[in-house]
Amino acid sequence: MHERKDLTIFPERVEPLLSAINKQGKNTRQMPAPFDVYPLDDIDKDIQNEDLPDLPDVSEVETVRHFTRLSRLNYGIDHGIYPLGSCTMKYNPKICEEIAGRVKDIHPADTYAMTDILKILMELSKDLEEICGMDASTLWGAAGAHGELTGMLIIKKALEKKGENRSTVLIPDTAHGTNPASCTIAGFNPVQIPSGPRGYLEASTIKDYLDDDVAALMITNPNTLGIFEQEIAHIAELLHNNGSYLYMDGANLNAILGTSRPGDMGADCMHLNLHKTFASPHGGGGPGSGPVLVKRHLIPYLPLPWIVADEKDSYTLKWDSTSSIGTIHSGMGNLAVLIKTLAYILSLGPEGIKDVSHVATLNANYIKTRLSKSFDIPYTTPTLHEFVLTDKRQQANGVTTMDIAKALIGFGIHPPTIYFPLVVNNAIMIEPTETEPLEELKRFADIMETIATLAETSPEIFKDMPFVSPVGRVDEVWAARHLILTWDMGESNKEAAVSKQ
Amino acid sequence: MHERKDLTIFPERVEPLLSAINKQGKNTRQMPAPFDVYPLDDIDKDIQNEDLPDLPDVSEVETVRHFTRLSRLNYGIDHGIYPLGSCTMKYNPKICEEIAGRVKDIHPADTYAMTDILKILMELSKDLEEICGMDASTLWGAAGAHGELTGMLIIKKALEKKGENRSTVLIPDTAHGTNPASCTIAGFNPVQIPSGPRGYLEASTIKDYLDDDVAALMITNPNTLGIFEQEIAHIAELLHNNGSYLYMDGANLNAILGTSRPGDMGADCMHLNLHKTFASPHGGGGPGSGPVLVKRHLIPYLPLPWIVADEKDSYTLKWDSTSSIGTIHSGMGNLAVLIKTLAYILSLGPEGIKDVSHVATLNANYIKTRLSKSFDIPYTTPTLHEFVLTDKRQQANGVTTMDIAKALIGFGIHPPTIYFPLVVNNAIMIEPTETEPLEELKRFADIMETIATLAETSPEIFKDMPFVSPVGRVDEVWAARHLILTWDMGESNKEAAVSKQ
Amino acid sequence: MSFIPLSREERKEILDAIGVEDEDELFETIPPHLRYKESLNIQGPLDEETLRARFQFRPHKISFLGGGIYNHHIPAVVDAIASRQEFYTAYTPYQPEISQGTLQAIFEYQSMMASLTKMYASNASMYDGATALAEATLMAISAKGLKRVVITRATNPAYRKVINTYLQFNRSVEILEVPFNIISGQVDLDALNDMVDSDTALFIQQPNFFGIIEPLDKIAQTAAKAGFWGIVITEMVSLGLLKPPGAFGPDVVVGDAQSFGNPQNAGGPLLGVLCTTKASIRRMPGRIVGLTRDSSGKKAFCLTLATREQHIRRGKATSNICSNQGLCALRAAIYLSAVGPRGLKKIAAQCASGARYLMKLMKEKGIDVIFNGPVFNEFVVRMEDARIKALEEAGLVPGIRIENLYPEIPGGQLLTVTEMNTKKDVECMKERI
Amino acid sequence: MSFIPLSREERKEILDAIGVEDEDELFETIPPHLRYKESLNIQGPLDEETLRARFQFRPHKISFLGGGIYNHHIPAVVDAIASRQEFYTAYTPYQPEISQGTLQAIFEYQSMMASLTKMYASNASMYDGATALAEATLMAISAKGLKRVVITRATNPAYRKVINTYLQFNRSVEILEVPFNIISGQVDLDALNDMVDSDTALFIQQPNFFGIIEPLDKIAQTAAKAGFWGIVITEMVSLGLLKPPGAFGPDVVVGDAQSFGNPQNAGGPLLGVLCTTKASIRRMPGRIVGLTRDSSGKKAFCLTLATREQHIRRGKATSNICSNQGLCALRAAIYLSAVGPRGLKKIAAQCASGARYLMKLMKEKGIDVIFNGPVFNEFVVRMEDARIKALEEAGLVPGIRIENLYPEIPGGQLLTVTEMNTKKDVECMKERI
Ligand SMILES: Cc1ncc(COP(=O)(O)O)c(C=O)c1O
Ligand SMILES: Cc1ncc(COP(=O)(O)O)c(C=O)c1O
């Protein structure tokens, strides 16, 4: 039999580092050269680089092959289900990519071209506000966490305006790590509060924490257990009575799109993750986009610039305001993502938007129903677009959440989010989204069942998983211990497993 | 250990047929609907389809995943070396693809837009004529074979004009199958003649065949052994003295680009394969493009339309001529390919063009030198851009050309052309092209050497090869016996190995 | 800019490995007088931006052009997938183990073309509709030694010309045209009946070049007498509305499927279609993919029926075709998968409705619509040169001039409407007339 | 058009499998008064062609815009590769076995940024240059408890604003600006010297917002006194010409690498860069990829140093950043691989030369060039509103108005030239002035 190292030969093979392909003189690219070259002796020699910039010297063919072959070591949404919980890995429509490509040659200071862009941004703002039941918005947040920070700064500013110096932000234990981190950067003190035994925050719990230092509650709804925060209206009332704000992390909006609106729940401020709910691709880590929406009383604090109407149907940017928190980005946020989002919203229309939450919830519950026979489900409360399993039953045979994830890779499926939320031990958090075909849901459920069976019959094989993947199980501890972060460090570190191939 | 069927799970998996994914109601695509719908009762009911067209009903996500996953079962030039002899699988520049995309929304009857196109086509014609040393050309041939047919019709027409009824076309035994086939369709009688023991046609041989029925010699230079037809000038003279034409198959022009010109060798007529020599992609089988070039005396017979100058720097199409062979295509040939070709030529420039033949020949000879130690090389005559090996030495251990090809697949490399040219037993015909990096040439040579060693040490393993590929060795005999050519035939054929998965 | 990945040093390294002094020595087998010493008189080398600046085009925004090449909606998914290097850079799938993507996709193309036309099988593509038709005539002739090729005069003139080109040196075959009825624009059934017998290969375009839908049910009765007959379709979108041609019993259905996911591209690549019956399959030109199994019994695909083809049969092959329009067929497969049964029907209905709307407005403007037969998405009007010129100057292309192709239709102008035209386009045409 | 792949029947099938009557029942945990019953007031659904028609833009053909976002040549290979679904649809590479493509590409991005800047390491990207700078100030403050952030006034105003936004509620830190010399446009070295001590975090933009090249060698001597200092680069192409900033010994190099293969995109996505020293690596914000090995000892990559990050450290993380600009970093990596060392140098020389050419022509026209320091590819002139308006009406965008950002430079207008401008563009600007 052939060995594991053979497995990646066709069509994938271990790809050498660019630095290993580098050889002087191979790059013969002709660059645009419209101008006669000046001597540039006005620039001090001590500041000029006497050497060439230190970059690999490779041919175009090698560039193309290198990155193409690398791409093939990745799993994308066009491969199949990508059930990362709270990440909303839905299909990224090709038409939205195509349309966003049309803004590429525009400079934001080309005011004439920007007229059309601002009109589109205004329409997007209005649509997002309508969908969320909020009054106004800013589109400049570059990702969810950037939106959170912006939102918390808005709240801080509003408090300052009121002359209040509240510093506590309450955050349920199911929250994403960005929530407390964003609070800290905004100058708040995040305090973790327990979500109840039923998986949602109870009004009675929050009562215990409310005092005059509480600036806000930061909550995700539905939360990362996929459970709707059923007491949210009551909680909002308690907060408001206490002079505190309700901040909503909209990362899980997909569950309730067109079905329920954060604004109606009492949210004062919230952000969206357009790269989740609104089908913009994740790009292997970004760019995302994190618009922030507010109720009327927080409008003065929105970051700059503001898009304001001048004449009918024409907009300009307003750059000064003494109330605003200020500028949060040097350009226009992740503008191309905003274009994709409007194209997506218009493509769907009002009914299509509502269908998203319906089918996202339907699909998640299908898988949950199937898997509840083989896996431990820690909460009995009904869930919406995602749900959490644990490895409790498999642990009996020594098979862990990590093993289950790696086994899935071997079956050609991207694993769910694992070990999150922290409130569940060894969580496996599954979100299929509305764009998974029924056949694919079945395939996933079948494979999970197979894994559950294998965990009983042959638990010993899990340690070697994933079997069939471009690399075997990756040693993350080794990485952290050696910290090889560049080619150069790889070269100089004798211990490094840097094979030129 | 896991079995072969596991090997294609990540990232490739066996892809079901679209017909197996089909389920009524899944395709919810909204189509453009600018018009109010008319009842269409003016169309006879007997002619209208009362049913829906018989197509699979699948969602956009499924369409995208299906074809994306299928694509991943293919090998492309961006994977690595693709050394198919006589196919000139060179890198297809991305910039040429981008530029060709710009003509997509033009209808050929949009005369205003076509003005720019005709100018470009004229420039391309001139460049191809300069490169080949010919006087005029037509760009409408859709592929090499289409060009051959066009060329042979031109010769037939010229003979007819001269009142001659010659029917024989001489074709060396190294020729591609399209050559005799094209002759037959043009109404000629192809006669095969032997290339000499040194791998090229000798003037003395052709003398024996020349009589007053010989319309032409159809020859590829360098031929499919990679050998330059050294007596070509003498042969041309003999032909011309006999009132016969010299037709040159330009499929192997890459070997001599900028280094030697068919026109200077005495060719009267020839075709090019733009999808070989001029870097246009093969598209998994097409579209190619096969322009035909002629010397002055054959100009009147070129197919219609002709691009003719009207005023300075402006061109129109001329659609009528009594001398022309007529029209060979309903549009403008494979026009987008023509655009890529001009972009490619302009990108390279005169020096770059010449470098192509230099490096193509250099690369081929590197591999040949390396492999001559382990494989049988049937001809000793020096070769240019390609060369032929045989399995003679490996046959001793029962390892055949087919086995070697399949073994290469297992090593992640596309095999060379095999069992062609027919004049060599069990040929392995290798053409690396000028766009292969030295590292890749070495990798290929190393793997071929490994295969030669394996053929000696473990010949028995070859029968199971390729080991690592999306499918195992494919049963072509079964295919020909069962002739399952559509989904429907697959459904109705009980014996068919049609798994829905 | 060149695409050679070797440095000067590497070129030297190779020379040393080969044992050759300099690169010119590699060409020693080329007689000195055949070596080209000059510098080629061509432009370049150019960088990418200069290239981009050099290739700029200005298509008209509003036009009513068709006549064999159509402007249809192409879903974004088609480009997104067809531009994957795995598909577009691959060679013909001779090595099946490493080409299953192309093979299965083409198998699916064949399957969909066969289902749509209700024919037994489709090949993997031909250059275009005209050469597909020409090859079908060769098929007919070789199959039955027929003496006459009869084709409706209302068949696309370019197609008829290509048949003439292909058959011009075949003295034993005569090519005849069946006239059309000058009132309806449909084939003259009586003339047809007179021209067809068992020595005849008959071809009929549906909808015909004038956009008129032929009464195929009636024609089929006559056609059955022919030794071989075929239906020619240049606007495949019509299959969304019309009965599958296979229902009428032809030996072949040929034509062009550019309408399926392939852009106009200023005239090409197009997508030649050839579907045939079980009886004729072994005479079919071109490649075909078959389903089979691999060494472990799993489903797999490969090229099959190669014994018809030039690389095996050489001078005796059914055709000389080798490279075809593979990527265009792939695009058609993606397109058909993307639009699906209801999508194709809707598009067809839109085309037919748009044409009727434009026809109505033209009539309102007093423009003479020449035929009264039912149309699909094209129709012929009478228009003077001056009016056409005026419209063109107003930034609008009002169809294709056909009076030169059909002297019997003076002032003939072919107007085409697709779902890519808008109501506003159509109304604009009315206003500017 | 929606992208739901389930038929109505399949939705019913799922309801049955779950054991639920209808879809509304799925939402029973949402209190009735929180359920949205109305129809959303948004447009759509639209088909693809209607969408395409709705998003049409008209950028100016000739412009001299920069100021932090630049119009540079992007080789065709960048789009061809970055548009592969394997790259652009993937999530953050938390599962390394199935994400090696992204991981290795980002590792190479890190490596190239580190080599170019001659810093120890680069993170995997930040939102943009301004937030990268803001995060660097946070790094400085948390590392050493510094009390003052000193930044050159000639640093991009948007960057300075973002620092202000981030630090506005931090009462213990003061933000100060170092003035520029009104003749040279370079930093006022004396003032700088007075403002910097070991309690200071210092940031200097190079080339500065006016396009002027700062005397970093001289500045470095003063900067060495600072508790922490950083160089800010908004035009990374300048690295093709200037000495790597790492040579001057800063603690961080931050900025924006949009110039590397990322289009202007009307203002975003941009590409925040943050490179740092070995000493500061554990205080760095953002993700970082490390080289490691797999179970069989083969080279592999994974995210590392996660203990700095929010998903582990939560409220105590070095930063809140999670999603970054991964695809932009990938584009930069492809770009740098495509252009290579000589390409980057040539582009830089073209930029610098083009700016000098435009400057020469402006001077010939009597336009006042404000500073006399050496420029890279931007410079400031004095221009009246009327002249700007006239040029814009002539179809040309003559730079960015900066007089509102710098009241001390009345009539200030920032002109930028890159290799995407042509000689003709530049001459056209002269003619039309
Ligand atoms: C619930 C939740 N909140 C916030 C975030 C942060 O969003 P981003 O990564 O766009 O900064 C995430 C993303 O993973 C999330 O799942
Ligand atoms: C020598 C030679 N001639 C002719 C052809 C036919 O060209 P095409 O496939 O473009 O019709 C080929 C293609 O394989 C060839 O190699």
3-class DSSP state of D231: strand
3-class DSSP state of D265: helix
* B219 Cβ closer than 6 Å to some ligand 2 atom: no
The predicted structure's pLDDT at residue D339: 98
* Closest atom, ligand 2, to C-alpha of B288: 10
* A145 Cβ closer than 6 Å to some ligand 1 atom: yes
* A186 Cβ closer than 6 Å to some ligand 1 atom: no
Is A434 in the D-facing interface, judged by CB distances under 8 Å? yes
The predicted structure's pLDDT at residue B2: 29
Evaluate if residue B498 carries a pLDDT over 60.
no
Q: What's the D311 CA to ligand 1 centre distance in angstroms?
A: 10
The predicted structure's pLDDT at residue A496: 57
Out of A10-14, C196-200, D123-127, D152-156, pick the least confident: A10-14
Say how far apart CA D422 and CA D433 lie, in whole Å.
Answer: 17
- Spell out which residues of chain D touch residue C48, defining contact as CB-CB under 8 Å: 73, 75-76
Q: Which residue in the set D87, D294, D314 is minimally distant from A74, CB to CB?
A: D87
Residue pair D123/D285 in contact (Cβ under 8 Å)? The answer is yes
Say how far apart CA B182 and CA D281 lie, in whole Å.
Answer: 69
Question: Which of D14, D49, D81 best tests the B interface by mutation, with the highest count of B CBs <10 A?
Answer: D49
Say how far apart CA C375 and CA C229 lie, in whole Å.
Answer: 23
3-class DSSP state of A303: coil
Nearest to D233 by CA among D260, D205, D252, D209: D205
**Contact B2/A411, CB-based, under 8 Å?**
no
* Angle made by CA atoms D288, D289, D293, in degrees to the nearest 5: 150
Could you say which ligand is closest to the alpha carbon of residue B282? 2
Secondary structure in 3-state letters for A425-471? CCCEEECCCCCCCHHHHHHHHHHHHHHHHHHHHCHHHHHHCCCCCCC
The predicted structure's pLDDT at residue D311: 82
Full DSSP string of D359-422: HHHHHHTT-EE---S-BSSEEEEE--HHHHHHHHHTTEE--EE-TTT-TTSTTEEEEE--TTS-
The predicted structure's pLDDT at residue A501: 37
Q: Which residue in the set D6, D47, D85 is minimally distant from B32, CB to CB?
A: D47
* A172 Cβ closer than 6 Å to some ligand 1 atom: no
Torsion of CA D284, D285, D290, D295, to 10 degrees: 120
Mean confidence (pLDDT) of chain A = 94
**Contact A28/C1, CB-based, under 8 Å?**
yes
Say how far apart CA D236 and CA D238 lie, in whole Å.
Answer: 5
Label residue D317 by pLDDT band (50, 70, 90). Answer: confident
For residue B77, the distance in angstroms to the closest alpha carbon of chain A comes to 8
The predicted structure's pLDDT at residue B501: 37
Q: Which residue in the set B95, B330, B405 is minimally distant from C162, CB to CB?
A: B330
- Spell out which residues of chain D touch residue A177, defining contact as CB-CB under 8 Å: 309-314, 317, 322
Is B13 in the A-facing interface, judged by CB distances under 8 Å? yes
* A178 Cβ closer than 6 Å to some ligand 1 atom: yes
Evaluate if residue B7 carries a pLDDT over 80.
no
Q: What's the B177 CA to ligand 2 centre distance in angstroms?
A: 8
Query: Which residues are bridge partners to C273 per DSSP?
Result: C255
Residue ranges for chain C with pLDDT beneath 70: none
Q: At what angle do helices B335-371 and B438-457 cross, to 10 degrees?
A: 50
| Peptide linkage before A305 cis (omega within 30 of 0) | yes
The predicted structure's pLDDT at residue A310: 86
Say how far apart CA B32 and CA C418 lie, in whole Å.
Answer: 10
The end-to-end CA distance of chain D, in Å, is 49
Q: Which residue in the set C96, C326, C341 is minimally distant from B283, CB to CB?
A: C326
pLDDT tens figures, A401-425? 999 999 999 888 999 999 999 999 9
Evaluate if residue B494 carries a pLDDT over 70.
no
Q: What's the A205 CA to ligand 1 centre distance in angstroms?
A: 25
Say how far apart CA D224 and CA A324 lie, in whole Å.
Answer: 36
**Contact C80/A94, CB-based, under 8 Å?**
yes
Say how far apart CA A144 and CA A156 lie, in whole Å.
Answer: 18
Q: Which residue has better confidence, A492 or C383? A: C383
Residue pair B227/B381 in contact (Cβ under 8 Å)? The answer is yes
Evaluate if residue A475 carries a pLDDT over 70.
yes
The predicted structure's pLDDT at residue B13: 60
Evaluate if residue B425 carries a pLDDT over 50.
yes
The predicted structure's pLDDT at residue A4: 35
| Peptide linkage before A421 cis (omega within 30 of 0) | yes
As a whole-number percent, the residues of chain D with pLDDT over 90 amount to: 93
Nearest residue (CA) to ligand 2, atom 9: C323
For residues D159-169, average pLDDT? 97
Copy the structure tokens of residue A378: 């820690």
Could you say which ligand is closest to the alpha carbon of residue B85? 2
Burial of B188 (0-12, 13-18, 19+ CB in 10 A): buried
- Pocket probe for ligand 1: among A88, A173, A176, the residue whose CB has the most ligand atoms within 8 Å is A176
pLDDT tens figures, B453-467? 999 999 999 998 888
Burial of A57 (0-12, 13-18, 19+ CB in 10 A): buried
Q: Which residue has better confidence, A499 or C426? A: C426
Say how far apart CA D304 and CA D284 lie, in whole Å.
Answer: 12
Query: Which residues are bridge partners to A428 per DSSP?
Result: A389, A418
The predicted structure's pLDDT at residue B3: 36
Evaluate if residue A5 carries a pLDDT over 70.
no
Nearest Cα residue in chain D from A231? D31
Evaluate if residue B101 carries a pLDDT over 60.
yes
pLDDT tens figures, D14-67? 999 999 999 999 999 999 999 999 999 999 999 999 999 999 998 888 999 999
* A251 Cβ closer than 6 Å to some ligand 1 atom: yes
**Contact C86/B366, CB-based, under 8 Å?**
no
Could you say which ligand is closest to the alpha carbon of residue A429? 1
Q: What's the A241 CA to ligand 1 centre distance in angstroms?
A: 29
Say how far apart CA B354 and CA B334 lie, in whole Å.
Answer: 26
For residues D255-266, average pLDDT? 98
Evaluate if residue D136 carries a pLDDT over 80.
yes
Copy the structure tokens of residue C107: 């198998």
Q: What's the A74 CA to ligand 1 centre distance in angstroms?
A: 21
* Closest atom, ligand 1, to C-alpha of A288: 10
Please report the residues numbered 51 through 110 in chain A whose beta carbons come closer than 8 angstroms to any beta carbon of chain D: 52-58, 60, 63-64, 66-68, 70-79, 82, 84, 87, 89-93, 95, 97-99, 102-110
Say how far apart CA B189 and CA B178 lie, in whole Å.
Answer: 13
Nearest residue (CA) to ligand 1, atom 16: A86
- Residues near A53 by Cβ (< 8 Å), separated by ≥ 6? D115, D116, D239, D240, D244, D341, D344, D345
Q: What's the B124 CA to ligand 2 centre distance in angstroms?
A: 21
The predicted structure's pLDDT at residue D312: 82
* D91 Cβ closer than 6 Å to some ligand 1 atom: no
For residue B349, the distance in angstroms to the closest alpha carbon of chain A comes to 12
Q: What's the D91 CA to ligand 1 centre distance in angstroms?
A: 12
Q: Which residue in the set D96, D166, D354 is minimally distant from A35, CB to CB?
A: D354
Q: Which residue in the set B31, B104, B304 is minimally distant from C343, CB to CB?
A: B31
